[in-house]
Amino acid sequence: MKEIFKFALVLGLVTGIAACALGVVNQITQPRIALQQQLALNAGLYRVLPGSENGCIIEQHLDGLNMYYTGYLNRDTTDFIGYALPVESKGYSSTIRTLVGLDSLRNIISLKILFQQETPGLGTKCEEVRPGETEPWFQYQFKGLFVPDVALDKNGGSIHCITGATITSAAITDAVKESSVKLFSEL
Amino acid sequence: MSVGKEFIKGMVRENPVFRLLLGLCPVLATSSSVMNAIGMGVSVIFVLVASNTLVSLLRNFIPPKIRIPIYISIIATFVTVVDLIMAGFFPDLHKSLGMFIKLIVVNCIILGRAEAFASKNNTFYAIIDGLGMGIGFTFSMIIIATIRELLGNGTWLNMPVFGTQFEPVLIFVLAPGAFITLGFIIGGMNWLDHRRAAIATKS
Amino acid sequence: MSHPFTISPSPHVRDDDSIQRIMFSVILALLPAGFYAMYLFGPRVIWLNFIAIGAAVITEVLCQLVMKRPIRISDGSAILTGLLLAYNIPASTPLWMPAVGSIVGILVGKQVFGGIGYNPMNPALVGRAFLMASWPVHMTVFNIAPHGGTLSGIDAMTAATPLNAFKHIRSILLHADQYTTNEVAEASVTLSKLYGSYSNLFIGKVGGCIGETSALLLLIGAAFLMSRHIIGWKIPFMYVTTVFILTWVFGGVAGLFSGNPLFHILSGGLILGAFYMATDMVTTPVTFKGRILFGVGCGFFTVVIRLWGGYPEGVSYAILLMNLTTPLIDRLTKPKVFGG
């Protein structure tokens, strides 16, 4: 019986010291991590709301909908650019996180995939930049599309499927359309 | 016991990946590119040296009956430190290694060295052992990743190596490619050993 | 070094068959389908076949030289592996692909395990799986239509093989609420046309891998092999029967028992797989019960992949999976020692 108390004490001591050490490391790294996440998000937001890097972006919330952002060309929020909407969709092997920029006329300004871990060489081609081009071709196809018209070519739309990765293509396309339609119906 | 011998043994004779076959989960999962291999390798070196040091320092205070939970607590602490630092300072690497940084906790090399070496030797040798094993691990990871990235992506450290005509052999960046590559390397090392043994017996 | 006994791979059955006789009979049985494929898809097929066979034979010789084993290409097994690999790729693949497939099939699928008799999986299917994982676009995009026909075997849909078309249409009909009524109506018309295209499927005037299209010619070859007792009836029969039952029960779009089993048996690589690849002596069980179980397992996995999986066709993966279970099945179904 006596041994058990000794063991508990030693284990408690070890885990206690470990917890304290981790607390300190967390204190030091937390602001850095938050900064990195902010930087990654900002890079995406500036991309889908061009011009907002000199203006401002405001986080918005709607009942029953995830948050979205509104972007302005100037700091006193009078010159409206559009909305930025984070979209999540279930791809073939990962959850794909996409950021969609939309103007007030329901056109897609631009699309940026923030995170995906699809099958290398197939689904990952949603971020592929073809030789001689500067933008990923799959995402570029969404530029300027009217939201209700967004659809894959096999379903009568204009978005070309990624060869061999129908599930990834459909997941992104469907989720972008669905979330955007929902946003405009709630606004 | 010589310093050089303890350091070198992790490279070839007791190479953790090709000889001891320890910690194969991260080896197979994160060796799809050389950058990932280096990131994973450096993380493992840090955790291995740090945990070896601490386990060796505390070896006379740790009650043998609860040594495993204590080793795991120590290892888990260092892994979390690596995870946090990487998230803060190398976000891209952290994104691509993902879950596998956290999984270093269950990497058999680290617990194995704590149990088999650090708990029985003084701190200096424990550090040398951790360094040697860690470098051996990293070295093996880079060899596997070089083959996989070259064949499966046509690049090395993200630099294109083959022309645009080359159609990457995708299977090598997928899981089966990791098994095939590892199998052939282990086979090759065994073949070399047999040859060496045969030559030794002849002479 | 000499052994006092001859060491030979399983199954250890006394028989007059030589490996050579078996291999060349199977090759002979496969030839009609190959000649028909040349007519269907053009002279390119000849090249693909020659390259696959050549690469397989050369790899086998080189491996045996390096490993200091006796050179045994005259047994015909490497030729058969090359031929089966070529039968399992689309006619439109680049010419280097059958070579890579054969090299991997022989090296990784066979020689590293110790050569003929020791391979756990069918080498040709290992080669195909490697190609499938490495260059999925080349392996799944069929763009050479058969001579005088369409890829799908019907006029309504010309851009996909029967199984691809089936998978696409089935997903539309199962999720009818996501599509316009027009699209759904069109899909059901196409489906009934697909189901009505038996004659094209049976003769083989459809798109697909080189050697898999013609059920008729493959069955003639299989009958020849069965008459010479080279392949048994158990595995192919159980395989086809399982696919028949499962696709009939689950394959339809109007609930249970609304599927069309005949379509599933005649399309894709089922006949080629069931009669020529699931019957390979080395990689299949030796016992009666074991073979029944093996056939059922192949059928089960094929249907699961075809109906619910990511690929339109599942024959090759089904056989590979069941190959790996062969030692377990053999152990499970080992007859009890008499009186023991």
The rounded average pLDDT for each run of 10 residues, N- to C-terminus, in chain A (187 residues) is: 88 94 95 90 89 87 78 87 91 89 92 86 84 87 92 85 86 92 86
Predicted ipTM of the assembly: 0.88
Dihedral, C235, C238, C240, C241 alpha carbons, nearest 10: 170
Using CB atoms, which chains have 3+ pairs under 8 A with C? Answer: A, B
In three-state secondary structure terms, A50 is coil
What angle in degrees, to the nearest 10, is found between the helix axes of C162-174 and C181-195? 140
Work out the average pLDDT over B176-183. 95
Taking the C-alpha atoms of residue C315 and residue A138, their distance in angstroms, rounded to an integer, is 32
pLDDT tens digits along B82-96 = 999 999 999 888 888
pLDDT reported for residue C11: 58
By Cβ distance, the residue of C136, C179, C183 closest to A164 is C136
Work out the average pLDDT over B179-198. 92
Alpha carbon of A164: minimum distance to chain C alpha carbons (Å): 6
B99 contacts on A by Cβ (under 8 Å): none
| pLDDT score of B49 more than 90 | yes
Q: Do C134 and B170 touch (CB under 8 A)?
A: yes
To probe the interface with A, which of B31, B51, B73, B170 has the most A CB atoms within 10 Å? B73
Dihedral, C142, C146, C148, C151 alpha carbons, nearest 10: -40
pLDDT tens digits along B105-136 = 888 899 999 999 999 999 999 999 999 999 99
Domain hosting residue B142, numbered range: 3-202
Dihedral, C131, C135, C136, C139 alpha carbons, nearest 10: -60
A155 contacts on C by Cβ (under 8 Å): 179, 183
- Token digits of residue C214: 């013609």
For residue C11, say if its preceding peptide bond is cis, omega within 30 degrees of 0.
yes
The residue assigned the tokens 């669905």 is: A178
- Token digits of residue C54: 């050549």
Q: Name the residue of chain B whose CA is nearest to A18's CA.
A: B77
Taking the C-alpha atoms of residue C270 and residue C242, their distance in angstroms, rounded to an integer, is 12
Q: Is the dihedral of CA B177, B180, B186, B188 positive or negative?
A: negative
Exposed/middle/buried for C250, CB within 10 Å: 0-12, 13-18, 19+? middle
Work out the average pLDDT over B44-65. 93
Percent of chain B scored above 90 by pLDDT? 56
Alpha carbon of A76: minimum distance to chain B alpha carbons (Å): 32
Q: Is C229 left (phi over 0), alpha (psi -120 to 50) or beta?
A: left
What angle in degrees, to the nearest 10, is found between the helix axes of C315-332 and C123-134? 140
Alpha carbon of B63: minimum distance to chain C alpha carbons (Å): 45
pLDDT reported for residue B3: 87
Q: Do B167 and C135 touch (CB under 8 A)?
A: yes
Mean pLDDT score across all residues of chain B = 91
Q: Number of folded domains in chain B?
A: 1
Tens of pLDDT, residue by residue, chain C (340 residues)? 445 555 555 655 555 458 888 999 999 999 999 999 999 999 999 999 999 999 999 999 999 999 888 888 888 999 999 999 999 999 999 999 999 999 999 999 999 998 888 999 999 999 999 999 999 888 888 888 888 888 888 877 777 789 988 888 888 888 887 777 888 888 889 898 888 888 889 999 898 999 999 999 999 999 999 999 999 999 999 999 999 999 999 988 888 898 899 999 999 899 999 999 999 989 999 999 999 999 999 999 999 999 988 788 899 999 999 999 999 999 999 887 776 5
pLDDT tens digits along B96-105 = 887 788 888 8
Helical residues (DSSP H) of chain C, grouped into ranges: 19-41, 44-66, 77-87, 96-107, 123-134, 136-140, 162-174, 181-195, 198-203, 215-227, 234-250, 261-266, 270-272, 288-308, 315-332
C135 contacts on B by Cβ (under 8 Å): 167, 169-170
